[in-house]
Amino acid sequence: MISYRPPNPSIPTDFEQIWSEKNTKRQKNSFKLKWATPKEDIHHFEIICDIDGVGLNPVHVKGGRRTAEIIGLEAGTRYNCSISAVLRNGQISDRAKCIAYTAPGSPLNMVQTKASTNGLYLRWMPASGGQSSGGQSYVIRYRSIQETGTNKQDSDNAETQTIQLTQKSGSDKPAREESQVLLDNAEETASDSRYEKITTVQDKYNLENLVPGTNYEIRIFAIAHDYPSLPLELEQATKPGKPGEVTIEKTLFAELISLSWGESEGNVTGYEIEYGRDDNTTRQPLKSSASNCTIDNILPGVNYSYKVYAVSNGKRGDPSHFIAATDPEEVHDLTWDTSSNTLTWERPDGDVDSYDVTVQTGTDIKPYHTTTCSQTLQDVKKGEPYVFSVVAISNGKASKKVSKNQTIAPGTPEFEKEKTSVTSTSVTLHWTLPGGKVKQYALHHQPVDEDMNLVTRWWNKKTDTVKTRCKTLENLTPGIKYRFEVFAEVDGARDEKGDVIEVVTAPSKPVVNYEASTNSFKLSWNRINEPSVDKITVAYTQGDIRPQRQTIKDVSVTSWSINNLQPGTPYQAEVFFHCGDKASSCGLIDITTDPVPPETFYTTSVSTSTANIEWSKPNGQYDHMVVTFNDLTSKKTSEKQIKELKHRCTNLHPASWYRLSVVTVKGSKRSAIKSYDFCTAPLPPKDISINPQAHTANIQWGYPNKRRDDGIRFEIKYWEVDSNGCEKTVFSETLQTTLESLTPGSQYLVQVRAVFHGTKNEAFKGKSFITEPPSVTDVHVEGFTNYADVSWRPPVQGTVKGYDVAFWPADNPSAKRKTKVKAPADRGSIEGLKRGTKYIVVVKSVVEGLKNQGADEKAFYTVPSQPSMGNIDTSPVSITLKWSRKKDEPNVTEAIVTYWQPGSTQQTKRVSTRDPQQLLIYPLKPNTCIEGYVELVCGDKTSNKTHWSATTGMALKGMM
């Protein structure tokens, strides 16, 4: 069976690349294809693009589409494209083919641009793409966009120039013609005939024959396979042309200068002008929109360098250079100094090399040349008219001439000081005749006050015109220094300084008051308003004594005190105001100082009922004294007028307070009150008793009606009788005290006095006592058979007349005995002791029958008697010893038996006296001689040895 196969679909027609009409639509990584759709019902289209046989993945497009954009391609590359139609049953048509190109990459940023007057040098980064067949080149389009009216380009007459520089040979002409058509079509709406066009294969180009000072719009396209890229756009301007020759024109002012120059070639928006001294054009440039300029602040007489630049589009062209010097300025303040005959002037602004000076009097003209601003003239005639002229010279140019008419002043008159007369309100002056012509004199006078400012001094300055050489000035102020200055004048000319004299008018009389005290008086006076008063003198005297003077330099002082005067004494004082050698006085003033009370009071004697009070003589003078006596307890008062310097008070009470007040009287003046408080003596103490110890003593006494707060206390003085030591004093508020730090064994004397607020009753209670003697130390006792030796260390401090050595048996204290030893001995013996007995001994210091208390007891032992040997019983193997001791030696405690046999060591046995006095020595060898001795022990003492010997019996039969 034959199956039916439908025919393949039709081939798509009009398959080609689509270009946008706008250059901005060119894509370097994609292109757009179009085709005509077959009549069949197409499911989809399959498009394949390859580069020289290297294909890409097929692209499927829906059947209803007639265009497709292929993306992800390489820039500036040729692609072989084919398309086929695919039915729904999968049948596919033959492929239609076309060639498509991607646009190359745009040129990258500019690397370098350089402008000249008629050209622009351009250099850019190469564009990407175009490495495949077809090569790469660049098209440069440019046009002027200068907006100045004179240089607008006519867009209708612009010529288009094309320079074709091919990169490869053998390019086919039809392709180039086609690319030219494509470029023209693509650029049809993006450019017009105003653009110039240049083609190059390099990444740099130098545009030439451009208009100076003109701004250009430049567009650079990359061309690959005859297809253009998007443009690199920029604006660049050429430098303006150099201005024409610069000329300078003078102005009416030395500090101004006017410049003009020829216009520059090409477009110019303005000009900048730099200028400075010589060739140093460092000042801020000036700007001008025209071809001329006026410059101010120009210094006269200076060489200046000027540079003019044309400016267009923010760029300056090459400058035109010009150097010229300004005229010097005329001098200022031409002045004549009469005192030194010197012509001076102020240096003009700018540079000055020297000055030409001419001096004319009548027809006589003298020239001078100087480099300074002064000229001293010789042989100038006083009182004659002169004409002085000065011209400044700089860089060979002369300034305007400045002239001055000057009449030379006559000489200066001098005051005749010896003829000057002065009163308190007027001054008469005389002066000499000066040299030269004189028509009149000017006499200035003004008060001289350092506190006045310049305005006040000028305001107070007065001038009198005098035809003669004498003038009296009246209505002046007293005590004021005046300054007078006289000038000689002729035709208004006079010296700058005249002769000066200063004269002080006599001061006014001071008005003085005073205040007196005991040792001084104070003078006060009216404030001085006369500035020429230069000092004040205060004088004072007493009686016929020569006056004393004190000078006060500070005239603002209005008071002065005179010190160290005698109280109650009349004085005379006087105050003077001085103006130079002139003085005024207030007249003598009588002043009496105040009297003073006595300075010192003292009590010459005081008891329980009377007191004698004396005082020192008051300083200065007085007539008498008033004494007031007050009992401060009963408040009773009495008054008495006396001249003596003492007062006796009677019928007083013991231990009571009183007050004595003294006032010194001189005429009607009374001194201040001087008071003296004193108290009477208290009653003496009674019934003193003393309890002495070794280093202390407790003392008690009695006093009638003693109260705790009655103000009475007691002074206890004591001293060691037989010593050169000083007297000691203690105080007590109560009726007892304890004396400490006494010397043991010493005799003391003590006195107790009653004291009321420092006032003592000379009557006292006294008593002597002896302190306990000091104790001995280091007592040492050595007992023997029936005696003992005792030694001790005597006391280091205190007094000892002897020692009592007391001793007794330890078990019988009632049998105490003693022996006496005189000092300074430090040992003694005790005799009549019993043997074998324990004794107690005490050594006490003795002085005047007193013994020290609390001495230490010392024990010792006597040597016991020898034991008496009894029968010695022997046997072949033992020996029994027996002995006895005296019964009246109670403190023997044991017996020591020591024995030995030939060839053996010594042995010792102890037997208590409480046991039978015998010892069995066992076992021994028969027929052996044994020797030994027996001793008795009492404390640390041992009796003499009692020796014995014995022989054991013969051995019995049976013992062998």
**Digit-coded pLDDT (tens) for 425-443:** 889 999 998 877 788 889 9
Q: Is 184 helix (H, G, I), strand (E, B) or coil?
A: helix
Nearest to 539 by CA among 517, 507, 512: 512
**CA 490 to CA 505: how far, in whole Å?**
32
Q: Which residue has the tokens 């009071």?
A: 601
Q: Is the pLDDT of residue 161 over 70?
A: no
| Contact of 751 with 765, CB cutoff 8 Å | yes
Q: What is the pLDDT of residue 149?
A: 44
Burial class (CB in 10 A: 0-12, 13-18, 19+), 241: buried
**Digit-coded pLDDT (tens) for 524-579:** 988 877 777 888 899 988 877 888 888 988 888 889 998 888 898 888 898 888 88
Q: What is the pLDDT of residue 306?
A: 83
Residue 400 main-chain phi, psi, to 5 deg: -65, 150
Give the 3-state secondary structure percentages of the chain, helix then strand then coil, rounded to 5.
5, 50, 50
pLDDT greater at residue 512 or residue 110 = 512
Helices (H), ranges, 98-213: 173-186
C-alpha distances (whole Å) from 825 to each of 279, 771, 802, 947 are 131, 21, 8, 42
**Digit-coded pLDDT (tens) for 142-159:** 888 877 544 443 333 333
**CA 770 to CA 839: how far, in whole Å?**
32
**CA 788 to CA 834: how far, in whole Å?**
11
Q: What is the pLDDT of residue 279?
A: 56
Structure tokens at 451: 């506190």
Pairing of the two strands 402-407 and 646-649: unpaired
Nearest to 357 by CA among 345, 370, 338: 370
**Digit-coded pLDDT (tens) for 225-252:** 777 888 888 888 888 888 888 888 777 6
Structure tokens at 707: 């109260």
**Mean pLDDT over all residues of the chain?**
83
19-23, 34-38, 223-227, 836-840: range with lowest mean pLDDT: 19-23
Residue 176 main-chain phi, psi, to 5 deg: -70, -40
Strand locations in 545-597 (E): 548-552, 559-562, 570-579, 582-585, 589-592
**CA 826 to CA 808: how far, in whole Å?**
20
Q: Which residue has the tokens 């006589």?
A: 364
CB atoms within 10 A of CB 362: 9
Q: Is the pLDDT of residue 660 over 50?
A: yes
Nearest to 138 by CA among 222, 226, 32: 222
Q: What is the pLDDT of residue 190?
A: 43
Residues 866-895, mean pLDDT to the nearest whole number: 91
CB atoms within 10 A of CB 724: 6
Burial class (CB in 10 A: 0-12, 13-18, 19+), 643: exposed
C-alpha distances (whole Å) from 485 to each of 11, 465, 466 are 135, 12, 12
Structure tokens at 830: 């005790």
| Contact of 689 with 750, CB cutoff 8 Å | no
Q: Is the pLDDT of residue 2 over 80?
A: no
**CA 212 to CA 242: how far, in whole Å?**
10
pLDDT greater at residue 831 or residue 201 = 831
C-alpha distances (whole Å) from 491 to each of 51, 380, 440, 762 are 119, 17, 10, 111
Q: What is the pLDDT of residue 26?
A: 59
Structure tokens at 785: 């058979």
CB atoms within 10 A of CB 234: 16
Q: Is the pLDDT of residue 169 over 50?
A: no
DSSP labels for 800-867?
Answer: --EEEEEEEETT-GGG-EEEEEETT--EEEEESPPTT-EEEEEEEEEETTEE-SSPPEEEEEPPPPPP
Partners of 307 in beta bridges:
274, 321
**CA 329 to CA 334: how far, in whole Å?**
14
Q: Is 183 helix (H, G, I), strand (E, B) or coil?
A: helix
Q: Compute CA 743 distance to the chain's CA centroid, rounded to the nearest angstrom.
A: 66
Q: What is the pLDDT of residue 23?
A: 40
For residue 540, what are the contacts with CB-CB under 8 A and spacing of at least 6? 547, 548, 562, 571, 572, 573, 574
**CA 727 to CA 715: how far, in whole Å?**
12
| Contact of 34 with 66, CB cutoff 8 Å | yes
Pairing of the two strands 204-207 and 232-237: unpaired
Structure tokens at 698: 């407790």
Residue 182 main-chain phi, psi, to 5 deg: -60, -45
Nearest to 504 by CA among 447, 442, 577, 575: 447
**Digit-coded pLDDT (tens) for 602-629:** 888 999 899 999 999 998 888 899 999 9
Partners of 674 in beta bridges:
662
Structure tokens at 29: 């990584």
Residues 804-812, mean pLDDT to the nearest whole number: 92
Structure tokens at 431: 């002066």
Partners of 527 in beta bridges:
none
36-74 residues labelled b (16+ CB within 10 A) or e (exposed): ebbebebbebbbbbeeeeeeeeebebebeeeebebeebb
**Digit-coded pLDDT (tens) for 266-324:** 888 888 888 887 656 556 688 888 888 888 778 888 888 888 888 988 888 888 888 87
Q: Is the pLDDT of residue 841 over 90?
A: yes
169-173, 831-835, 900-904, 941-945: range with lowest mean pLDDT: 169-173
Amino acid at 824: P
Confidence of residue 173 (pLDDT cuts 50, 70, 90): very low
> How many Cα atoms within 13 Å fall on the side-chain side of residue 380?
26
Residue 179 main-chain phi, psi, to 5 deg: -65, -35
| Contact of 285 with 232, CB cutoff 8 Å | no
| Contact of 153 with 216, CB cutoff 8 Å | no
**CA 941 to CA 484: how far, in whole Å?**
135
Residues 62-72, mean pLDDT to the nearest whole number: 88
Structure tokens at 353: 């090399």
Residue 736 main-chain phi, psi, to 5 deg: -160, 165
**Digit-coded pLDDT (tens) for 461-488:** 788 888 888 999 888 888 788 889 998 8
Amino acid at 27: Q
Q: Is the pLDDT of residue 773 over 70?
A: yes
Nearest to 335 by CA among 287, 291, 392, 390: 390
DSSP labels for 532-554?
Answer: T--EEEEEEE-TTSPPEEEEE--
Confidence of residue 662 (pLDDT cuts 50, 70, 90): very high
Q: Compute CA 417 distance to the chain's CA centroid, rounded to the nearest angstrom.
A: 62
**CA 623 to CA 646: how far, in whole Å?**
16
Q: What is the pLDDT of residue 35?
A: 92
pTM given for the model: 0.38
Q: Is the pLDDT of residue 170 over 80?
A: no
**CA 867 to CA 387: how far, in whole Å?**
168
Residues 731-739, mean pLDDT to the nearest whole number: 91
Residue 174 main-chain phi, psi, to 5 deg: -60, -35
Structure tokens at 469: 């050489």
363-367, 394-398, 428-432, 584-588: range with lowest mean pLDDT: 584-588
Give all domains of the chain, ordered by start, each with its CATH number. 13-101 (2.60.40.10), 242-326 (2.60.40.10), 332-408 (2.60.40.10), 429-505 (2.60.40.10), 512-593 (2.60.40.10), 601-680 (2.60.40.10), 686-770 (2.60.40.10), 777-862 (2.60.40.10), 868-952 (2.60.40.10)
C-alpha distances (whole Å) from 343 to each of 275, 393, 436, 841 are 37, 18, 20, 136
Nearest to 481 by CA among 525, 524, 451, 511: 451
